[in-house]
């Protein structure tokens, strides 16, 4: 007897004893997913069937028959992925290149999910940096070097956003700069800088979150996990360009040293920021990452963050939101999302959004003193980041990861991290 439940695809209607609306029916040692004419709907049906199979208690399934494309198999895997990543999909063996790509996608997204799903007791700034560094040194040992600047050394180096947000925690904040340089030339240009928000736990600081709002805040380093997973996938796909991975790592906690509302942060580039909301901390640490990317002379800059509730209000938990003032870069990112079958929606960002958080005491505030930052909160957060983006935002993409984490299971996803965005960012790093 096979050790895996065989899953077939069919367009035949289910037998009369099944509900005619059923998209998954069972037979002896097998199950069938009922397809329709529209392929986009088929991928949704397949992913939902994967969730149903997980809920039945199946732990190993196999894509059987001749109708499995790469995207259909990936949809099945996405639905069948359990929160603790113990399930397994055996790929259809008829297309070996697809099997290789599916393996790469599975390993990279599993790495991203596991990082995000671990508790804040296990993932804190330094341990996050260590896990990411170890992953890449195992993946590409001859092409990786890394530096982690932490604690008071951040202040000495001028990385005041990360230092200020994280100074109240028992776990020192830090900036990880990981250099993937497959060229062997130490003077090779940096083609892309990947910047990730690595807030390993977010209490909200003195703008403290309610208890229910804190429950999922181990996922606030989802941006760091997403760009790390994206670089991992790009390397597995044969990336031969130099990339800097910059993770801005801190715990946003409360004690007598915590930063307060009304404090002024002076950044390395001279800009001053008034803190009007300590729960708008992600943009404060990403500002350092953007400045670091500028110092490295990166041609393309991509940041990713679980940044605003406003983005979730706009696009829901199914899409990620994209912001950019570079039309060419944004168009390419959206095309990559379509190619990689990930949901990405562009929201407004204009240069004047950088002026939408005014301060009487500094060059800008980090938000507006209103719930959720007020109207247009996601665009205003992106506008804040635009102040720090090199070259007035040319070549810069900001991903607000509204779809990175599910607080509870849905018909499409298990509870926890989704790794949504990993494929799109990997393709954008790879380029033409």
- Please identify every residue annotated as catalytic: 209, 283
CA distance 172 to 24: 50
CB atoms within 10 A of CB 64: 20
In angstroms, rounded to a whole number, what is the distance separating the alpha carbons of residues 176 and 193?
Answer: 12
Q: Is 20 helix (H, G, I), strand (E, B) or coil?
A: coil
- For residue 186, what are the contacts with CB-CB under 8 A and spacing of at least 6? none
CB 389 within 8 A of CB 300: no
SS (H, E, C) 157-221: HCCHHHHHHHCCCCCCCEEEEEEECCCCCCCCCCCEEEEEEEEEEECCCCCCCCHHHHCCHHHHH
- HSE-up of 93 (CA within 13 Å, CB side)? 3
- CB neighbours (10 Å) of residue 100? 13
DSSP 355: G
Q: Which residues of 352-364 are buried (b: 16+ CB within 10 A; e: fewer)?
A: ebbebbeeeebeb
CB distance 223 to 303 below 8 Å: yes
- 3-state SS class at 260: coil
């Amino acid at each position: 007897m096979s050790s895996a439940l065989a899953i077939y695809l069919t367009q035949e209607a289910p037998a009369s004893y099944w509900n005619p609306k059923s998209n998954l029916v069972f037979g002896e040692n097998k199950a069938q997913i009922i397809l329709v004419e529209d392929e986009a709907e088929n991928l949704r049906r397949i992913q939902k069937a994967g969730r149903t199979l997980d809920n039945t208690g199946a732990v190993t399934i196999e894509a059987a028959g001749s109708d499995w494309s790469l995207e259909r198999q990936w949809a099945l895997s996405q639905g069948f992925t359990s929160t603790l990543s113990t399930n397994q999909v055996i790929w259809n063996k008829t297309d070996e290149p697809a099997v290789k790509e599916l393996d790469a996608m599975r390993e990279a997204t599993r790495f991203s999910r596991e990082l995000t799903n671990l508790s804040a007791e296990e993932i804190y700034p330094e341990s996050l940096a260590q896990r990411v560094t170890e992953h890449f040194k195992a993946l590409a040992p001859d092409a990786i070097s890394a530096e982690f600047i932490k604690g008071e050394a951040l202040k000495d180096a001028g990385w005041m956003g990360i230092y200020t947000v994280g100074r109240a925690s028992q776990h020192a904040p830090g900036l990880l700069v990981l250099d993937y340089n497959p060229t062997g030339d130490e003077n090779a240009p940096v083609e892309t800088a990947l910047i990730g928000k690595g807030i390993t736990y977010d209490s909200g600081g003195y703008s403290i979150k309610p208890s229910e709002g804190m429950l999922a805040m181990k996922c606030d380093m989802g941006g760091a996990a997403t760009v790390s997973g994206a670089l991992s996938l790009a390397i597995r796909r044969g990336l031969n360009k130099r990339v800097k991975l910059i993770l801005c790592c801190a715990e946003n906690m409360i004690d007598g040293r915590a930063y307060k509302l009304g404090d002024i942060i002076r950044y390395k580039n001279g800009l001053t920021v008034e803190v009007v909301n300590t729960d708008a901390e992600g943009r404060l640490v990403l500002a350092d990452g953007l400045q670091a990317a500028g110092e490295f002379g990166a041609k393309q800059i991509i940041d990713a963050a679980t940044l605003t509730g406003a983005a979730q209000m706009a696009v829901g938990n199914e899409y990620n939101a994209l912001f950019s003032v570079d039309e060419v870069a944004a168009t390419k990112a959206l095309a990559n999302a379509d190619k990689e079958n990930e949901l990405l929606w562009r929201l407004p960002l204009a240069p004047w959004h950088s002026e939408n958080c005014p301060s009487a005491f500094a060059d800008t505030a980090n938000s507006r003193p209103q719930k959720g930052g007020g109207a247009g909160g996601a665009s205003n957060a992106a506008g804040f980041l635009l102040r720090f983006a090199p070259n007035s935002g040319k070549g810069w993409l900001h991903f607000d990861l509204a779809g990175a984490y599910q607080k509870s299971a849905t018909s499409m996803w298990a509870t926890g991290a989704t790794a949504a965005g990993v494929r799109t960012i990997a393709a954008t790093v790879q380029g033409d």
